[in-house]
Amino acid sequence: MRKFGIIGVGHVGATVAYTLVCKGIADELILIDNNEGKATAEQLDLQDAQARLDTRTIIKTQDYSELEDTDVLFVTSGNIHALDNVSGNRWAEFEYTREIVKDIAPKIKASGFDGVLIDTMNPCDAITHYLQRETGLSRQQCFGTGTFLDTARMQKVVSDVFDVDPKNVTGYVYGEHGESQFSAWSTVQVNGLDILDLAHEQDLDLSELEDKARHGGWAVHSGKGYTSYAIATCAVKLSEAVLSDAKLTCPCSSYSEKYGTYVGQPSIVGKNGIESVTELPLPDDEEAKFKHSADTIKEKFATL
């Protein structure tokens, strides 16, 4: 029995739920939202779809006690309108999401939940750290989507330039899921070829590509008022890695012993959550950027 929970069924949470149900990933799904009517409506809509699907998902709502035997819990709550007119500043949601954590963390803890928690809230790194602390879950069990999404955006931007499938672009975006993130070009390859060599041969400005990737989310947000598909896809893929014990290597927001904070970095995701962190040897300039980004998160987290 593969059991999932989602706290917050707004744009992202509802998309996660739809994906879990339509792909037949979840045998049982618990939806929780501060708007009970919204949770019920999403439940009914997904139940109406069941007769046309090849799989069946049992869907329940608003019961924290159901989280006790849940395998994976997504926390996708937030206040997307806090980001209106503040392009580039995911910290604008901080005052809202920290209050959400204060509300839901004791309830998660009281439920006896002991699975893996995947956070998508903004600012992702700091809020994931706060969730981990307040729920009492281990740093292994609690992690955030972090730069998994930003890396996908980098892959898309690079694939457009080289006319390749984005899956054939490998490498990582490190740091904050925010403005201080950076593309670690030393790790990036296109069809197995070093992007630094390709950029030199073709006289490409990698800083322009990095900026385009960094602001990709804001391009989506400015057009439809939120982002949903890409982040939900990232969250679901991470959950599948947990359920299948895939030992998937990917960048996400995990705890860095080196820098003392949750931050986007390559990690191994398996049945226990973060199985280990992969510390790649970065050139000095990229390591400095990584430290700067981690310090930025720590400074903001200290305001809690």
Q: Residues 125, 85, 38, CA angle at the centre, nearest 5°?
A: 70
Note the pLDDT of residue 22. 98
Kind plus residue range of the DSSP H or E element containing 155? helix 147-162
Kind plus residue range of the DSSP H or E element containing 131? helix 124-135
Kind plus residue range of the DSSP H or E element containing 246? none
What is the mean pLDDT of the segment spanning 33-58?
98
What is the mean pLDDT of the segment spanning 23-37?
98
83 pLDDT more than 70: no
Classify residue 166 by its DSSP letter: G
Mention every residue, 6+ apart, whose C-beta is less than 8 A from residue 299: none
Note the pLDDT of residue 95. 86
Query: Which residues sit in the known binding site for NAD(+)?
Result: 8-13, 33
* Residue 177 among the catalytic residues: yes
246 pLDDT more than 70: yes
Note the pLDDT of residue 187. 98
48 pLDDT more than 60: yes
Note the pLDDT of residue 34. 96
CA–CA distance, 50 with 62 (Å, rounded to integer): 20
pLDDT band at 78 (very low <50, low <70, confident <90, very high): confident
Specify the residue for token string 């970095």: 265
Go through the domains of the chain in sequence order and give each one's CATH number: 3-144 (3.40.50.720), 147-301 (3.90.110.10)
- What is the tens place of the pLDDT at every residue in 178-234? 999 999 999 999 999 999 999 999 999 999 999 999 988 888 988 998 999 999 999
Which entry of 177, 200, 215, 292 is annotated as an active-site residue?
177
Of the two residues 92 and 220, the one the predictor is more confident about is 220
Note the pLDDT of residue 88. 57
What is the mean pLDDT of the segment spanning 4-23?
98
CA–CA distance, 198 with 91 (Å, rounded to integer): 35
Contact 188, 171 (CB under 8 A): yes
Note the pLDDT of residue 84. 61
Backbone φ, ψ for residue 302 (5° rounding): -65, -20
- What is the tens place of the pLDDT at every residue in 247-267? 999 999 999 999 999 999 999
Q: For 93-127, give the DSSP string.
A: GHHHHHHHHHHHHHHHHHHT--SEEEE--SSHHHH
87 pLDDT more than 60: no
Kind plus residue range of the DSSP H or E element containing 280? none
Give the largest Cα separation in the chain, rounded.
59
